[in-house]
Structure 1
Amino acid sequence: MEQRINFYQKGPGATKVLFGLSMYLAKSSVEQSLLRLINVRVSQINGCVFCLNADTAELRAHGETEQRLYLLNAWREAPFYTDRERAALAWAEAVTNVREGHVPDEVYEEVSQQFSEEELIDLTLAVTTVNTYNRMNISFRTPVTDSKPWEKTVAVK
């Protein structure tokens, strides 16, 4: 497929807003390794090849194991994720797949046992942010170019 628009270059205002959200999340009290894992899971759900390529490369660069990456789409059955990660993954899936105007109460109860209110707000912002990146990249057919695509994006000014 041919790229429609390089929104990183042609949409500097939108890119600046998205990068601003990412910069805020980089300072979140939610551990970065978990936020990166959430990025990959949400991108799997949405089928964003650009984001999957970028986020799995970033996770590997920060020491994530291949086994956990390969089994992420089956995290419920795999024994390699902590209770906190499981709660965050369930929350990320529920927020991404929100239907009928709500996230199930049982998912909220589970995640609220693992995260403070501030962390839960940041976790939800992380899920909605990666969903936005996914939708932008899918809509404009951002191509996969290499294993470190974030290095080629336009710097925030």
Structure 2
Amino acid sequence: MNQGDGTFAAPVAYSNSASGQTAGIAFGDANGDGTLDILSNGAAGRYLFYFRGNGNGTFASGVQSTAAATTATNSALGVVAGDFNGDGKLDAYILVTTASGGVRPMTGNGNGGFTSGTVVTTGASPGLNAIATADMDADGYADLILTNRGSGTVTVVPNGL
């Protein structure tokens, strides 16, 4: 944790419930308790993991989402979090490898669990390599921002997918 003087405390590693590397990280209150939680997607395991925040800078070990975030033919590259469907619960989008740029919505249930949606392709070719979210058009809704691998372009998806 940041010590407030430009230094940090010793790092603490938190494990997830599956082996393999993680490829993305996002933050938000996934269980509605008012504390910051961590979301991470597994590149090899292809899952979304929820690390419950304890409110004191520590976190519980990662719990796998309720459904596989990608299929065996896809790898997860990144994750963003926000209330994308307007229900007041934290949702996520996972960037997955597809030839035409895929993202998978993960709908939050408000207690730290997520339901996996179908991969949506964006048409970006040869695929995507980064994902971010912000309200780019100031309409009060989160937009997705995607970088396209190989083409040097950025795709903005207004109001999510």
- The normalised TM-score by structure 2 is 0.22
Structure number having the greater strand percentage: 2
**TM-score for the superposition, normalised by structure 1:** 0.23
- Greater relative contact order structure (CA < 8 Å, 6+ sep): 1
